[in-house]
C-alpha cells in the first residue's frame, strides 16, 4: 500500500510540494484536497513566475490530482484570499 504523508497546509504563496512532504520531485504521487480554499497546482522545475499563473490545474475539496513518476516539482498555493487563506492536502506516494 502507498505511504500517506501527514496532511499539509498550503497558503497563498507558491510552495514546492516536495519541501512540504519530504517526497522527492519526480515521485509519482496522488494529491487529495481535504478542505479549505481552492488549490492551484503547477508542475514545473522552478517556482511559477506570478501569483496568478494559470498554466496548471485547480482542485477543490474532495478533488484528486495525480502526478506521474519523472515529472518536475509540484507547486501548490491557494487560489483566492477572498475564499480563505489556507487549504489542507493529503498526499501519498503512488507506487
Query: At 17, is the secondary structure helix, strand, or coil?
Result: helix
Assign domain 4-93 one CATH number from 2.20.28, 2.40.370, 3.40.50, 2.60.120. Answer: 2.60.120
Q: What is the pTM of this model?
A: 0.87
What is the percentage of the chain residues whose pLDDT exceeds 90?
Answer: 66
Checking if the pLDDT of 71 tops 90, the result is yes
Q: What is the pLDDT of residues 8-20, one digit of tens each?
A: 999 988 999 999 9
Q: What share of the chain is helix, strand, coil (3-state, %, to 5)?
A: 10, 45, 50
**Mean per-residue pLDDT for 60-73?**
94
CB 32 within 8 A of CB 17: no
Place of cell 477543490: 60
Q: Is the pLDDT of residue 33 over 70?
A: yes
Mean pLDDT of the chain: 87
User: pLDDT band at 1, cuts 50/70/90?
Assistant: very low
Domains of the chain by residue range:
4-93
Amino acid at each position: 500500500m502507498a505511504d500517506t504523508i501527514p496532511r499539509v497546509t498550503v497558503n497563498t504563496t507558491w510552495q514546492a510540494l516536495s519541501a512540504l512532504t519530504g517526497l522527492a520531485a519526480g515521485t509519482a504521487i496522488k494529491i487529495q484536497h481535504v478542505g479549505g480554499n481552492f488549490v492551484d497546482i503547477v508542475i514545473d522545475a522552478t517556482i511559477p513566475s506570478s501569483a496568478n499563473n494559470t498554466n496548471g490545474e485547480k482542485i477543490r475539496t474532495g478533488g484528486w490530482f495525480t502526478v506521474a513518476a519523472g515529472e518536475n516539482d509540484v507547486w501548490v498555493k491557494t487560489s483566492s484570499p477572498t475564499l480563505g487563506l489556507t487549504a489542507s492536502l493529503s498526499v501519498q506516494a503512488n507506487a
